[in-house]
Amino acid sequence: MSVEHLKQKQVIIDEIKDKLSRAQSAVVIDYIGTSVSEADEMRKKLREANVDYKVYKNTLINRAIEGTEYEVLKDVLSGPSAVAFSYDDAVAPARVINGIIKEYKKMEFKAGVIEGTYYDADGVQKIAALPSRDELIAKFMGSIQSPVGALVRTFQAVADAKTE
């Protein structure tokens, strides 16, 4: 193998290491069966969710994850593998890809590391079903506002009754 070829591989390994060092999560999927148009649509949806998605050679991923918290993914890195990284919302890759899997009836989760915890395919599937951070905040705010609104209406009814 030429020195130039080794340098090219090292650049890719360094790229993967950089993404992993910044990522809150990395989800590995088997992307087989998707058409080019489906893959383009999937990439678009992932970009909109600020998820970095890329297909790498398994050997290069294996070299990049050595000695990191992502090393537990070694066992699932066989066959076609793509990795989705998220830097902001740890659950975003699982959630978006889960929607795509349901839509196209293709692809499947292999495993993932989300906020330092390893999840097998079933675990990633369960994580994907969780509501997003924004949805949780909206539900929480709604639950807080509901009793406050009822209290205000009660006070208003009491005040209206006294003025009559």
- Report the chain's mean pLDDT, rounded to a whole number: 88
Tens digits of per-residue pLDDT, 5-36?
889 999 999 999 999 999 999 999 998 888 88
C-alpha–C-alpha distance, residues 100 and 37, integer Å: 13
Is the torsion defined by CA of 54, 58, 62, 68 positive or negative? positive
Domain that holds residue 149: 131-164
Same domain (yes/no): 44, 118: yes
Question: Helix crossing, 58-65 with 3-22: angle to 10°?
Answer: 60
Residues 31 and 72 in one domain: yes
The answer, yes or no, to whether residue 164 has pLDDT greater than 70, is no
Backbone torsion region of residue 87, taken as left when φ is above 0, otherwise alpha when ψ lies between -120 and 50, otherwise beta: alpha
153 and 82 in one domain?
no
**DSSP designation for 64:** H
Count up the domains in the chain and report the number.
2
Q: What is the pLDDT of residue 85?
A: 95
Calculate the CA 144 to chain-centre distance.
28
pTM (2 decimals)? Answer: 0.77
Q: Render pLDDT for 117-130 as a digit per residue (tens, 0 to 9).
A: 999 999 999 988 87
- CATH code of the domain in which 98 resides: 3.30.70.1730
Tokens 């929480």 belong to: 140
Per-residue pLDDT of 69-98, as tens digits, reads 999 999 999 998 999 999 988 899 999 999
- Residue 153, pLDDT > 80, answer no
State how far the Cα of 155 lies from the Cα of 40, in Å rounded to an integer.
56
Determine what percent of the chain is predicted with pLDDT higher than 70.
95
Whether residue 85 is found in the same domain as residue 126: yes
Least confident of 41-45, 83-87, 97-101, 135-139: 135-139
